Chains A and B, each alone.
Chain A
Amino acid sequence: QKEVEQNSGPLSVPEGAIASLNCTYSDRGSQSFFWYRQYSGKSPELIMFIYSNGDKEDGRFTAQLNKASQYVSLLIRDSQPSDSATYLCAVKMDSSYKLIFGSGTRLLVRP
């Protein structure tokens, strides 16, 4: 079992819709959770981080964390074609200095 799992996609949504990206992790001691966006040929760009159970909103983005279910998600409201990218979920394990990344979900927003 991979430490951080994501559906590789592609997840295709129409412009203006809500895109829902999901991530599960295996280590219950994980403390910090991150979402990065990576455009083709570019480096990952931090979108959001979340530490506590519940929702965290930043503009059109909402991160949701459920530690009991070991599940973290990213919602993108009013999706735009410019949101088309690969979204990487990253988890910081307890007492570790490294981030473990999922393989990423490719999002395609259709005009």
Chain B
Amino acid sequence: KAGVTQTPRYLIKTRGQQVTLSCSPISGHRSVSWYQQTPGQGLQFLFEYFSETQRNKGNFPGRFSGRQFSNSRSEMNVSTLELGDSALYLCASSLTSSGETQYFGPGTRLLVL
């Protein structure tokens, strides 16, 4: 069974631009979570989706948004990029509705110049 896939793997943007990241969960998994990882803050939860509904949102500004499609694929969008948004963005999928036992994708490394 294929794992979680994320595209693109690397991205360079400039301040003020916006970016959309994509995540395809493991086949059959319906819960998708997004995390931001930086050296200073570690892994921080962004949001979680199940059946196209956002069930939980982390403490991030409204510039960070996401959505989930009927096939469980998910996208996250960051608008008006700031230098501090440079990070590894990780998507994780899980089988159960409780969102446990999450399996991570390879991540998208975003650099904001």
A12-20, A40-48, A59-67, A76-84 - the one binding chain B: A40-48
Minimum distance in angstroms from B36 CB to a CB of chain A: 11
Residues of A within 8 Å of B, CB-based: how many? 21
Task: List the B residue with the shortest CB-CB distance to A104.
Answer: B42
Q: Residues on B close to A: CB < 8 A?
A: 31, 33, 35, 42-45, 48, 50, 55-56, 58, 88, 90, 92, 98-107
- In the A-B complex, list the 6 residue pairs whose CB atoms are closest, starting with the nearest: A101-B43, A97-B99, A43-B104, A103-B42, A98-B45, A97-B56
A56: interface (CB < 8 Å): no
The answer to whether B50 touches A43 (Cβ under 8 A) is: no
Q: Which A residues touch B50, using CB under 8 A?
A: 97
How near does chain B come to A37, taking the closest CB pair, in angstroms? Answer: 11
Whether the pair B45, A99 counts as a contact (CB closer than 8 A) is yes
Enumerate chain B residues within 8 angstroms of A92, measured Cβ to Cβ.
Answer: 98-100
Judge whether A72 is part of the interface by a CB distance below 8 angstroms.
Answer: no
Given pairs A44-B104, A101-B43, 20 additional interface contacts (CB within 8 A): A32-B100, A34-B101, A43-B88, A43-B105, A44-B43, A44-B90, A46-B103, A92-B99, A96-B56, A97-B33, A97-B48, A97-B56, A97-B99, A98-B33, A98-B99, A99-B33, A99-B45, A99-B92, A99-B102, A101-B35
A24-62: which have CB < 8 Å to B?
A: 32, 34, 36, 42-46, 49
